[in-house]
Amino acid sequence: MIKDESTVIRRRWKRSGFAIEISLILIVKMAILFGIKAVWFDAPTIPVDGTRLTEERLLSVPGNVAPPPQPKEIGR
């Protein structure tokens, strides 16, 4: 009885503990990465008055650019 090459590969894959271990590690890693993405990167950060700052940077003469505004301190 001659076995098809694809069935031999499938049987090896099913019996291989290494393949199962790698698959589980990849599934756990993807779950952790998606969790981190959902917690920390749920919305883009938009600077205060970002349009005006962009216009100043793109349309001004190089020597006449105003310094960027200082961030406000929170909790004081």
Domain ranges of the chain: 5-62
Q: How far is CA 14 from the centre of its chain?
A: 32
pLDDT at 57: 76
Query: pLDDT tens across 17-38, in order?
Result: 888 899 999 999 999 999 999 9
The pTM is what?
Answer: 0.43
3-class secondary-structure state, position 71:
coil
CA distance 20 to 26: 10
65: how many CB neighbours lie within 10 A of its CB?
Answer: 11
Integer Cα distance of 61 and 52 in angstroms: 15
- Output the pLDDT for position 51: 83
